[in-house]
Amino acid sequence: MNNNKSSGIWDSKECALILIDFQPGVMSYIRSSDPKLVELNGRYLAKAALAFDIPIILSTVGVKLGANQPTIESLRNEIPDIPEIDRSSMDSWGDKGFVEAVKKTGRKRLVMCGILTEVCLAYPVVNALKEDYEVCFIADASGGASKEAHDMAVLRMIQAGAVPNTTSAMIAEWFRDWSGPLAPAAREVVVPFVKETAMVQDIYSRIEAGQAADARAAEAWAAKKQPAVI
C-alpha cells in the first residue's frame, strides 16, 4: 500500500494517462453503467491528454492470441499514433512492455481508467501504488460486470491509496484556469464534451419536454384566469 497521501492538485505536467482494454468484446461485459458513457469519457480523456501534452499509454488484452479485438474505433481515431501494448495477462502491471512504457513517460502520477473495473483496472492500480506511483482512477471512464463489482473495486483502490475522480473533474483539474495557457485547448475539448454527454444522456430531449410541459401549464393557468363570457 502506498502510504504517501496525494499532494494536492494533479497538474497536467506531472501526469500520464493510461487507458486499459477499451475493446469491443471486453466492453460488452459492462453492466455497472451505460457503456456509451464509459466510451465517451475515455475518448475525451484521450482528447484532453493530447491537447495538454500528457503522455498516453494504451493497453489491450488477448489481441495477438486471437481472443479479443483491438481498441474500439472511436477511441483509436482520437489517438491513431499511440501504439497498443497488447498482453496476455489480465494484470497489465505484470506485462514487461507495459511497465517499461510507464517508466519511459517519466511521470509518477498515473491517471488510469479501464474495463473491467474489478479486474483489468484494479490489478494494475494496486500494483502501481505498491511501486510508489501515485494513482488517480477515473470511475466514470471505467465499467464493471455489475454495479456491485464496480463499487467494490472502487473501494479496494481507494483503500489501497488511489484517488478517485470523474472525467469532467479530471479534465478541469488538468487546466484549471480559463485564462491560463491551456485554456484555448481546453475549450476545444470541453465544449464538444458537454454537448456529446448531453446527447448520450438524452438531456436535451428531457429539457425540451420540460419546457413544453411548462408552456402547457402556463397556457392552462392563463385560460383559468380569463373572465367567463356571458
Domain boundaries, the chain: 12-177
Q: What is the mean pLDDT of the chain?
A: 91
Beta strands 109-114 and 15-20 are parallel
Is the pLDDT at 226 greater than 90, yes or no?
Answer: no
- pLDDT tens track for 56-104: 999 999 999 999 999 999 999 999 999 999 999 999 999 999 999 999 9
Collapsed DSSP state (helix, strand, coil) of residue 104: helix
pLDDT (tens digit per residue) in 100-135: 999 999 999 999 999 999 999 999 999 999 999 999
3-state class of 57 per DSSP? strand
DSSP label of 225: H
- 73 neighbors 105 (Cβ within 8 angstroms): no
- What pLDDT sits at residue 113? 98
Q: Count Cα atoms within 13 angstroms, Cβ side, for 12.
A: 24
pTM of the model: 0.86
Closest CA relative to residue 148, chosen from 156, 158, 137, 159: 156
| Residue 174 to residues 161, 165, 194, 210, 217, Cα–Cα distance (Å) | 20, 12, 17, 35, 44
Taking the C-alpha atoms of residue 61 and residue 89, their distance in angstroms, rounded to an integer, is 7
Do residues 201 and 167 touch, judged by C-beta distance below 8 A? Answer: no
Alpha carbons 218 and 68: distance in angstroms, whole number: 56
Closest CA to 35 of 181, 172, 200: 200
Q: What are phi and psi of 115, to 5 degrees?
A: -135, 135
Catalytic residues: 120
Domain spanning 12-177, CATH class? alpha beta
